[in-house]
């Protein structure tokens, strides 16, 4: 969690991200040099060079993305839901100003339209300048960028989508509204029949109350919900979780190998990793509603094939 008096990153120093778990666990980042710093209307933006980690984007002192391991986050947020949908043509990304999730979405041949709603224009401009490997998709003709609040965009856009991806920062500051019940209800209302959504759902090591409360809401709203994980070493605790929410598709269905092959060379995602991401340890299962936990207690059960799917 960010702190007002937190020291800023400095050249040739160890930067300590504000710790979680009441100060018990945090991330130390070896900063070689500070490449960029700006205070936007919404947040403090830094880009630093961190040796073998590459360039790192920080917002309000919190690591947002890191060149060395960003694929674990962006590939899993994008490809798991898009490969669960039978034919994702219209996609909305809320947040995602660094461009990584957009880059992955555009690898799907079925995608014809992507709207990206980012509250902070400065994040997009910073990514284009300092993280060009992530910000590759903003000029694609299928993409429309909207600067503004994600919840307001959902209320006013009048468009429905096959897939909505919520690529937010942690639940504070400008991202806080993206974790509310009203927001998730708006997401469901924006989905076409058979549509689905995926959202950042944090690490079960760090955000137990948030995960329990969020999945209680999602379980009431959607036909199926599931919690899945990716390994992202630069994120505190080393793992990050996502919520997959569907209006019909069975979330544990294995991906089509042909569609996976169409994505080309990926850095993190595989079909095996897709399926294994839903296999949870007991502490994570204990945070989920009984129906969701029962579904995920054995995601490889043969009865999976008997469940409804798009």
Query: Which residue, 10, 51, 18, is CA-closest to 34?
Result: 10
Q: What is the CA radius of gyration of the chain?
A: 18
Q: CB of 133 within 8 A of CB of 69?
A: no
Angle subtended at Cα 89 by Cα 125 and Cα 73, rounded to the nearest 5 degrees: 50
Strands 161-167 and 90-95: parallel
**Given 60, 115, 120, 167, the catalytic residue:** 167
- Contact in structure between 176 and 200 (CB atoms under 8 Å): no
Task: Residue 70: name the closest of 213, 191, 234 by CA.
Answer: 234
Supply 65's token pair: 């993305």
Contact (Cβ atoms closer than 8 angstroms) between residue 66 and residue 53: yes
223 is catalytic: no
User: For the packed helices 181-189 and 208-221, what is the interaxial angle rounded to 10 degrees?
Assistant: 40
In order, the DSSP letters of 162-228 are EEEEEE--SSSGGGGGGGSHHHHHHHHHTEEEEEEEEEE---TTT-HHHHHHHHHHHHHHSSEEEEE
Any idea which residues carry the catalytic annotation?
167
């Amino acid at each position: 969690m960010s702190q007002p008096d937190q020291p800023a990153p400095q050249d040739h120093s160890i930067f300590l991200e504000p710790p979680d778990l009441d100060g018990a666990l945090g991330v130390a980042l070896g900063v070689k040099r500070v490449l960029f710093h700006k205070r936007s209307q919404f947040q403090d933006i830094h880009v630093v060079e961190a040796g073998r980690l590459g360039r790192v984007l920080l917002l309000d002192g919190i690591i947002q993305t890191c060149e060395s391991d960003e694929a674990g986050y962006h590939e899993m947020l994008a490809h798991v839901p898009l490969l669960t949908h039978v034919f994702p043509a219209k996609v909305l990304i809320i947040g995602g100003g660094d461009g990584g999730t957009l880059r992955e979405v555009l690898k799907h041949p079925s995608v014809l339209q992507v709207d990206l709603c980012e509250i902070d224009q400065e994040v997009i401009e910073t990514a284009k300048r300092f993280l060009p490997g992530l910000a590759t998709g903003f000029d694609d003709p299928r993409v429309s960028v909207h600067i503004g609040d994600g919840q307001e965009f959902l209320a006013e856009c009048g468009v429905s989508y096959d897939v909505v991806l919520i690529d937010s920062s942690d639940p504070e500051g400008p991202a806080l509204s993206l974790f509310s019940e009203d927001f998730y209800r708006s997401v469901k209302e924006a989905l076409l029949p058979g549509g689905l959504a995926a959202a950042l759902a944090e690490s079960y090591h760090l955000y137990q109350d948030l995960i329990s409360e969020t999945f209680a809401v999602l379980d009431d709203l959607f036909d199926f919900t599931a919690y899945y994980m990716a390994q992202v070493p630069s994120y505190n605790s080393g793992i990050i979780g996502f919520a997959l929410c569907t209006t019909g598709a069975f979330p544990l269905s294995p991906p089509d190998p042909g569609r996976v092959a169409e994505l080309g060379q990926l850095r993190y995602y595989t079909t095996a990793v897709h399926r294994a991401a839903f296999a949870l340890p007991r502490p994570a299962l204990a945070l989920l509603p009984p129906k969701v936990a029962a579904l995920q207690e054995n995601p490889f059960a043969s009865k999976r094939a008997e469940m409804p799917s798009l």
